[in-house]
Amino acid sequence: MQLRAQNINFKYRSDRYILKDIDFSIESGEIVGLVAPSGFGKTTLAKILAGYEKPESGSVEIEGLTKSKNRYSPIQLIFQHPEKSVNPKWKMSKILNEAFEPSKELLDDMGIKDEWLNRWPSELSGGELQRFCVLRALSSETKFLIADEMTTMLDAITQAQIWGVVLEHVKKHNIGLIVISHEKALVDRICHRIVDLSEFEELKQDIV
């Protein structure tokens, strides 16, 4: 299976193109680092890949996947700030089970305590909340996962635990993983391949 974006052009309201003629692809089971200096459009491309934003032109498709009517997207995006991606009016059990019902083993591996399930998002720390946001992206329907600065806000121990679970899960289920991170050491260590968005810019300048 392959997730493929071709000739992506995108701008927000202004006239400035954030993404111009961007091609990107990832295979099942691959771990690809998406890097570039701040403001180059990494998060924007992630949102386009996951279907949160629509490109002005270009296409995003998964080759080899039969479309299902399921509401759960096969491309899951995990953001840096978990508090922005949960409904504050829902308790954690509802937030989690809206996605799918994870096994006890997965809950334990992620370090989620039973008592947290009955709390509101505002009653959890950022690290505790992010564990839920990561876990709900790991359904059996997930074919591609995008981790956008997923653990940047967290302490080293929580970071290591979350990455441990995610890396084991993507390997076991042959999920393609896109890692957006400014942490070069992390990207170099876990990625099979690195795509630098700023190189598209240099390429364009060479052609002109």
Ligand X SMILES: Nc1ncnc2c1ncn2[C@@H]1O[C@H](COP(=O)(O)OP(=O)(O)OP(=O)(O)O)[C@@H](O)[C@H]1O
By CB under 6 A, residue 39 contacts ligand X: yes
Considering beta carbons, is residue 41 or 82 the nearer one to ligand X?
41
Contact 175, 142 (CB under 8 A): yes
Type of residue found at 178 = I
Contact residues for 198 (Cβ-Cβ < 8 A; gap 6+) = 36, 37, 40
Q: Find the shortest distance in angstroms from Cβ 175 to ligand X.
A: 22
13 or 89: whose CB is closer to ligand X? 13
Minimum distance, C-beta of residue 152 to ligand X, in the bound complex (Å): 9
Locus of tokens 């709900």: 136
Can residue 181 be called a binding residue for ligand X (CB under 6 A)? Answer: no
CB of 50 to ligand X, least distance (A): 13
Which residues does residue 25 pair with via DSSP β-bridges, in sequence order?
A: 4
- Residue selected from 10, 24, 40, 132 as contacting ligand X according to rule CB under 6 A: 40
Determine, following the binding rule CB under 6 A, whether residue 10 of this chain makes contact with ligand X. no
Q: How far is the CB of 43 from ligand X (least distance, A)?
A: 3
Q: Specify the DSSP element, H or E, that contains 138.
A: none
Rounded Cα gap, residues 51 and 90, in angstroms:
24
The sheet carrying 176-180 orders its strands as 75-78, 144-148, 176-180, 31-35, 193-196
Residue 12 binding ligand X, by CB under 6 A? yes
How many other CB atoms are found less than 10 A from the CB of residue 155?
A: 11
Does position 84 interact with ligand X (CB under 6 A)? The reply is no
Choices 39-47, 71-79, 87-95, 198-206; region in contact with ligand X by CB under 6 A:
39-47
Secondary structure class of 163 (helix, strand, coil): helix
Contact residues for ligand X, defined by CB under 6 A: 12, 18, 36, 38-44
